[in-house]
Amino acid sequence: MAKVYARYPLANIAIYNGVTLAHYGLGAAGIVLGYARWPVLGWTIGLVYLMFALGQMYVLMPLSVCPSCVYRRLEGARCVSAMNLVSARIAPLADEGDFGRRAEDALCHNHLYMASLVAPLVIVMPALIFAFSWALLALFLAVAALLALRLFVVFPRVACGVCVAKGRCPNAKAMGIG
């Protein structure tokens, strides 16, 4: 049987959050660079994207997803993002049965999370056509590589594959891990 973590090692947390922050930062940089001909537009879209991405991950998740997660209830537990520790300070516990709702409705957290990962690629694509640069292509490919790394390595091996909640989590089930 595969090992599961009630308290994720700091290395897993650093990998998960490092990939997340690199993805968001490089995505925002790609947007700003891609629309450099129109700096007000590029900086506005880039900063709005960055605020959205960081907000949904590091504010909305601890307020709406973490309160119903099993990691909030386990003594001394620490999830792969460590957001259960933040959530414990800013949000009351919620019904554990509500955890699956993170994947329901059009504006559920799962959809916002995936949008934060895919949005920079979609936003930068027109800029690659109309304002091509090698630096922009490099940023685009880096963000695409980070998305692939997240989907094919981080989720199955560092995060979801060793999570206590993988049997109940809609994310793990969607990836065939649960």
pLDDT in tens, 132-175: 999 999 999 999 999 999 999 998 888 888 888 887 777 777 77
Asked whether residue 128 is domain-assigned, the answer is yes
Asked whether residue 4 is domain-assigned, the answer is no
Asked whether residue 159 is domain-assigned, the answer is yes
Calculate ∠ Cα 6-9-14, nearest 5°: 125
**Model pLDDT for residues 10-19, shown as the tens digit of each residue:** 999 999 999 9
d(C-alpha 44, C-alpha 29), whole Å: 12
Tokens read off for 136: 């922009």
User: Structural domain tally of the chain?
Assistant: 1
Out of 19-23, 53-57, 109-113, 166-170, pick the least confident.
Answer: 166-170
Please report, rounded to a whole number, the percentage of residues in the chain having pLDDT higher than 70: 98
Asked whether residue 3 is domain-assigned, the answer is no
- pLDDT at 33 > cutoff 60: yes
Asked whether residue 5 is domain-assigned, the answer is no
pLDDT at 101: 73
User: 139 near 26, Cβ under 8 Å?
Assistant: yes
Please report, rounded to a whole number, the percentage of residues in the chain having pLDDT higher than 90: 69
Count how many Cα atoms sit within 13 Å of the Cα of residue 103 in the half-sphere of its side chain: 11
Total H helices, total E strands in the chain? 7, 0
Q: Considering the chain, what is the average pLDDT of its residues?
A: 91
The pTM score is 0.92
**Domain boundaries, position 138:** 10-174
Asked whether residue 2 is domain-assigned, the answer is no
Calculate ∠ Cα 91-15-3, nearest 5°: 85
